[in-house]
Amino acid sequence: MSSLKKLAIRGTIWTFIGYGGSQVLRLGANLILTRLLVPEVFGLMSLVNTFIMGLVLFSDVGVGPSIIQNKRGNDPNFYNTAWTVRVIRGFFIWFACLLIAYPLSIFYDTPELKWLIPILGLNSIVTGFQSTALHLLDRNINVEKKTLFDIGIQIFSLTITIILVWFNRNILSLVIATIISGLLSTIISHQLIKEVKNTFTWDKKSLEELFSFGKWIFISTIGTFLAMQSDRLILGRLFSIEILGIYTIAFTFADISLQMINRINGTVVFPLISKSSDLPRKILREKILSKRKFLLAIGILFVTVLSCFGDLLILTLYDDRYKQGSWMLPILALGIWPNLLAVTMRSVQMGIGKPMYGAYGYLLKFIYMIILLPLMSNIMGILGAILVIAFNDFPFYIAVQYGLWKEGLMTIKQDILATLLLITIISLIILIRYYLGAGFPLAYLSL
């Protein structure tokens, strides 16, 4: 057990290093690109990525989580069968891109989608050949090697993107850079673990185990897409591509805390819980609540900073074209909190082999979005849309808590105390900010 604890500590430290470095690189590149490209380009790229992500998630059978969670994850027959399934899936995704491109270009009245979606969709074929070594590193909580790989690929990707955009300032440069980066990451992934040599394999027993666990991953990822990307899909239809681009910038910052927690969950918590899933529920719950305090403290820090000072961040880093994002960011950042509470336990449910509750939660979240987002947008405009999006994680949280109750792992008391602490801290900081003459975070709401 002490070795698992050391792995958890080491994994968390490397996750922080990797995530911190990733965000610094991402922000630097973002600041450069927003000065070279107009907001419409970011909105259009966001829309294209949303469609392709939807195809990726709609065809997800949980190859990665299965390799991490399954007791045969280190068996070549198992991970090579999983690799074969993923390669086939990559070609399926690209073919689907060809089918949806033209209808979507008509629906959104955006002719560029006809060629953008098929070209960017080629990346699904390229990355489909990525080595299962990436998942085996996660399984064995080798976060250091995985982090160095991710950071290296990101540095290359951002560098090639900036170079291409500098000479050709249009969306095609972003698309080409994405494909080149995918090709490099695929090639290097096969060098990460020398002993892992992926070959085409079709083992019946491995397939049965993959699809047995993967069916809930499949349902969950469909729900994830519908719930998490419905904002862009609906906003792209209701408002201009320019507004979608500004929203994308604001949401990227608001999502920082959630991505941080998700990174720790995926690289540390999920693998550890998978190794400890046989413990009695009472003992497992006590261990989880003890470690979860740390994750919630990180969440409180990020949400507080972005809710109280997010407007200043946008106004300082971006020009007047992105000014509306200054009031969007604080609202969106605060709305991330229920999701933070849920995802810190969602990985636990995955680790004990019970992914279905999250799937139900994402379905409820999607229903919430398709009903309230168009309705409130019609009544209150973009403000109504942002408010709906900000509070769209409550249905997901309720479903996850229901699953925790069923499994004897409820965290409701800890969640209430953490939420009260968050509200108190934010209220005090905003009051101090106001009395110091810096105004409120929503000062530009009328624009």
Which of 180, 215, 250 is the last residue in one of the domains?
215
Mean pLDDT of 296-325: 88
Contact, 341 vs 298, CB < 8 A? no
Locus of tokens 């999920």: 270
Please give the residue that has the higher pLDDT: either 356 or 418.
418
Which of 215, 247, 271 is the last residue in one of the domains?
215
Quick one: 152 and 245 in the same domain? no
Distance CA 364, CA 395 (A): 6
Quick one: 316 and 192 in the same domain? no
Whether residue 68 lies inside any domain: the answer is yes
Quick one: 352 and 400 in the same domain? yes
Quick one: 193 and 292 in the same domain? no
Quick one: 261 and 201 in the same domain? no
Phi-psi label, residue 353: left if phi above 0, alpha if psi -120 to 50, beta otherwise: left
- Per-residue pLDDT tens for 252-269? 888 877 777 776 666 656
pLDDT value of position 1 = 46
Whether residue 167 lies inside any domain: the answer is yes
Q: How confident is the model at residue 53 (pLDDT cuts 50, 70, 90)?
A: confident
Distance CA 373, CA 366 (A): 10
Quick one: 207 and 268 in the same domain? no
CA angle 66, 137, 150 (to 5 degrees): 110
Total number of domains in the chain: 2
Whether residue 421 lies inside any domain: the answer is yes
Whether residue 285 lies inside any domain: the answer is yes
CA 76 to chain centre: 29
Quick one: 327 and 388 in the same domain? yes
- Per-residue pLDDT tens for 65-77? 777 777 787 888 8
Whether residue 23 lies inside any domain: the answer is no
Mean pLDDT score across all residues of the chain:
81
Please choose, from the candidates 48, 21, 27, the residue with its C-alpha nearest in 3D space to the C-alpha of residue 255.
27
CA 332 to chain centre: 15
Phi-psi label, residue 70: left if phi above 0, alpha if psi -120 to 50, beta otherwise: beta
> Which domain range does residue 182 map to?
33-215
Distance CA 179, CA 90 (A): 13
Mention every residue, 6+ apart, whose C-beta is less than 8 A from residue 359. Answer: 216, 219, 220, 223
Distance CA 58, CA 73 (A): 23
Global pTM reads 0.65
Please choose, from the candidates 296, 263, 291, 294, the residue with its C-alpha nearest in 3D space to the C-alpha of residue 276.
291
CA 311 to chain centre: 23
Burial of 199 (0-12, 13-18, 19+ CB in 10 A): exposed
